[in-house]
Amino acid sequence: MRTPIIAGNWKMHTTVEEAMELVRAMLDGLQAVPQVERVLCPPFVSLYPVAGLLKGTDIGLGAQNMHWEEKGAFTGEISPLMLKGLCQYVIIGHSERRTYFGETDEGVNRKVKAALAHGLTPIVCVGENLAQNEAGETDAVVSGQVRAAFAGIDAASARRIVIAYEPVWAIGTGRAATGEQASRVIGGVIRGTLAELYDAGTAQAIRVQYGGSTNAKNIREFMAYPDIDGALVGGASLKADEFVEMVRLAAKVKFGA
């Protein structure tokens, strides 16, 4: 059985002091649910101090973005060498990066390869926008993004990747997809595409989260579907009690814990 993974993407929220306070507020609660892989993704400036707070625990730490080059004249960028040894995960290709900062499918692929080369676990985001959804283009868009992200990556490496299906129209809008909608895309489109790229075993081994206005009220619905392995959580991950409750409910649904 795939291990569920719940990751909190704090986006451009929290000062260093606020980030540390938030971690302290949720640390005990998160450690009480070892059945679920828990990952915190604070802003870059808080990675080092948060890493100190998480030291000795089994809670993962992730960056929100990364450049594919190891070093160079790329002012303002963060390289995989800077993250290696500091955190274990990195979010790649989030829709906000694609929409506001011009990230392309090719760039996402280069970042995924760089993350894998340096021992980082990529959380690769895919998802259609509202216009594409309403035009019936969801399957083609999502499948295309998966194919592009995994281009040139062998099956063994592919199994190390986590995918987050985040329909753009659901991110930060309070308008989540239904569990049935998310499961259809994740189980049918994403795993179907992975099976074509690799094989059925690899498609079933790769973990796929849902993201987009998830919270403690709707996490049960998503986790009830076998193809959904967790959530990439935005706003709700900034509330210690709610994020801990989401992790607890995920474990309860998947394991009866």
The catalytic residues are 94, 166
H-assigned helices in 32-171: 47-54, 80-83, 95-101, 105-117, 130-134, 138-149, 155-158
What is the distance between the alpha carbons of residues 123 and 91, in angstroms, rounded to a whole number?
5
Radius of gyration of the chain (CA): 17
3-state secondary structure of 122: strand
| Helix, strand, coil share (%) of the chain residues, nearest 5 | 50, 15, 35
The residue type of 142 is V
Interaxial angle between packed helices 16-31 and 240-255, expressed in degrees from 0 to 180 and rounded to the nearest 10: 30
CA 28, chain centre distance (Å) = 22
